[in-house]
A = this chain, B = another copy of it.
Amino acid sequence: MTTAQRPTLEAVAKRAGVSRATVSRVVNGSTTVAEPIQQAVRRAVEELGYVPNLAARSLVTQRTDSVALVMPEAATRVFSDDQVFPGIIRGAAQELEAADKQLVLMLAGSPAGHERVERYTTGRHVDGVLFASLHGEDPLPGRLARLGIPVVCSGRPLDGAEVPYVDVDHVGGVTRAVRYLIENGRRRIATIAGPQDMVAGIERLEGYRNTITEAGLPVLVAYGDFTRESGTAAMRQLLAEHPDLDAVFAASDLMAHAALRTLREAGRRVPQDVAVIGFDDIETAAYTEPPLTTVRQPIVELGRAMTRQLLRIAAGEEIEQALMLPTELVVRESA
């Protein structure tokens, strides 16, 4: 490494013929510096190609200008093609870019990874922490909040910690989907539920159960984990246990996609024999056979909203503890 010696504040000060303090003021946009001096300093900065040393700044300001985005899933599942995590990353990246802060991505799937995230975040190496999709009852968000470190989760923390969160309206979306099925004359409506250790899985099932029960219809459930493979297994199980079902609400588009194929293999026509509705509205949903009717969730906006909340907390503002983003039923041809 040639490690060309970087210019420091000192060097700029010397070149501009002023003190370090003045250069620092100019660089940080203080207004109390005379215009001609500002000019001179800026020219020196330009000529020397000066870039502030963030470590040094961070050491004295106690800020790092970076935010951690923690994905608590196993690495292999984080980036399945449901686009949830990429969407959140993208939203967070956009919002942080506007705030000129860095995005540090951390995977906490393995015990080692989780321990690493804990060390790093409790060690205050970031100005705030974003948690995407909690699994089970992770105590970390609550602990960080108690340490006074800004935290925002996607979805209500399952351990009941008083941590700010942003979530999409799972229940509302599912309710609309199930009602739509009922209005269209479906009476044997089954669901492929998501994992019950995640808010998304829990609330989508709750939405189904409430709406179905309210309508006096039978609750028919099989469980998956949001993936296509699990959707296939769940659909087969439903078909075996309730051969007379006439509709399926799947808690994810991936599972709905698998259900579509499984139904076709079983000789059922969609939507004539069985209507299918998914949840997510991934890109692929418009390209399934038939195109999938589904509940759209604003996933990039979720990432943005979480980040905006975090920045507000970090800025010392008071924020509402929960923020809910609307979902929407997108009707295509599968129901």
Query: Is there an interface contact between B283 and A81, defined as CB atoms closer than 8 Å?
Result: yes
- CB < 8 Å: which of B78, B90, B106, B282 contacts A81? B282
Query: A123: CB under 8 A from chain B?
Result: yes
A215 to B64, CA, bound (A): 59
In the assembled complex, which residues on chain B have CB atoms less than 8 Å from the CB atom of A258?
A: 287
In the assembled complex, which residues on chain B have CB atoms less than 8 Å from the CB atom of A87?
A: 79
- CB < 8 Å: which of B49, B107, B148 contacts A97? B107
Main secondary structure of the interface of A (DSSP, over half): mixed
Q: List 18 A-B contacts (CB under 8 A).
A: A1-B148, A1-B149, A3-B62, A51-B123, A54-B55, A75-B93, A79-B83, A79-B87, A81-B81, A81-B282, A93-B107, A94-B107, A97-B113, A100-B116, A102-B120, A103-B106, A257-B284, A289-B289
Residue of B with least CB distance to A57 = B55
Query: A2: CB under 8 A from chain B?
Result: yes
Query: A29: CB under 8 A from chain B?
Result: no
Given that A86-B79, A105-B89 are known contacts, is A119 also in contact with B2, CB under 8 Å in the complex? no
Residue of B with least CB distance to A124 = B6
In the assembled complex, which residues on chain B have CB atoms less than 8 Å from the CB atom of A287?
A: 228, 257-258, 261
A119 to B53, CA, bound (A): 11
Footprint of B on A, CB under 8 Å? 1-4, 6, 49, 51-56, 58-59, 62, 64, 66, 75, 78-81, 83, 85-87, 89-90, 93-94, 97, 100, 102-107, 112-113, 116, 119-120, 122-125, 147-150, 228, 257-258, 261, 282-284, 287, 289, 316
A282 to B53, CA, bound (A): 42
Query: Is there an interface contact between B55 and A55, defined as CB atoms closer than 8 Å?
Result: yes
Query: Is there an interface contact between A103 and B105, defined as CB atoms closer than 8 Å?
Result: yes
A189 to B258, CA, bound (A): 31
Task: List 9 A-B pairs, minimum CB-CB distance, nearest first.
Answer: A51-B123, A2-B148, A79-B86, A55-B58, A289-B289, A55-B59, A1-B148, A81-B283, A55-B55
Query: Is there an interface contact between A228 and B90, defined as CB atoms closer than 8 Å?
Result: no
A64 to B64, CA, bound (A): 12
